Amino acid sequence: MAKLSMRRAVYPGTFDPVTNGHLDLIERGATMFDELIVAVASNLEKEPLFSVEERVEMIRERVGHYGSVQVDSFQGLVVDYVRSKGFGVILRGLRTISDFEYEYQMALTNRSFAEDVETVFVMPNLKYAFISSRLIKEAVALGGHVPGFVPPDVEKRLREKLLNTP
């Protein structure tokens, strides 16, 4: 088996929608690793508001200035995707204790499938520690404004989807 690169990481998620917290993690991941793939999961169980293509596009619009960051999509096990790229690291953010419990369980499960793939956890910037895509969607659906939580173009897309207004 070929040795996987520990200088290249995959940051997987549904990103429905991408938040400033996600973008902060991408920025920091871009400085930590030689290459970073932001991998949008095609997870229909979560019933995403945006299609995979829309989520990929929203992220690409925000990270194009990073030469070391690519945006892709995947289906199936993240460790299979990571290995298919020859990468050796999964990058994940931890906001809360409940995040830690879930991510810890997921990291150990991933390790049981692929011992050669490591998971690296990064704490969010404090100003993004409470942001979640789910809460942002709820706020917008109730007529709230979310500047500072998502980029302005993402908020516009949320309003168009949830409220049928520009």
Question: Residue 59 belongs to what H/E stretch?
Answer: helix 52-63
In single-letter form, the type of residue at position 23 comes to L
Which letter, b or e, does each residue of 108-139 get, where b requires 16 or more Cβ atoms within 10 Å of its Cβ?
eebeeebeebbbeeeebeeebeebebeebbee
Homologous superfamily of domain range 5-129: HUPs (3.40.50.620)
pLDDT at 1 over 60: no
Nearest to 25 by CA among 149, 124, 158: 124
pLDDT of residue 2: 61
pLDDT of residue 97: 83
pTM of the full structure = 0.93
Are the C-beta atoms of 46 and 16 separated by less than 8 Å?
yes
Tally the C-alpha atoms within 13 A of residue 123's C-alpha that lie toward its C-beta. 5
Are the C-beta atoms of 31 and 63 separated by less than 8 Å?
no
pLDDT of residue 47: 85
Residues carrying an active site annotation: 22, 46, 95, 133
pLDDT at 3 over 80: no
Say what percent of the chain tops pLDDT 70. 95
pLDDT in tens, 44-94: 677 899 999 999 999 999 998 999 999 999 999 999 999 999 999 999 999
The conformation of residue 44, written as its DSSP 8-state character, comes to G
The pair of three-digit structure tokens given for residue 114, joined into one six-digit string = 């692929």
Query: What is the mean pLDDT of the segment spanning 17-36?
Result: 96
Domain boundaries, the chain: 5-129
Band of residue 8 on the pLDDT scale cut at 50, 70, 90: very high
pLDDT in tens, 90-145: 999 998 888 899 999 999 999 999 999 999 999 989 998 888 999 999 999 999 99
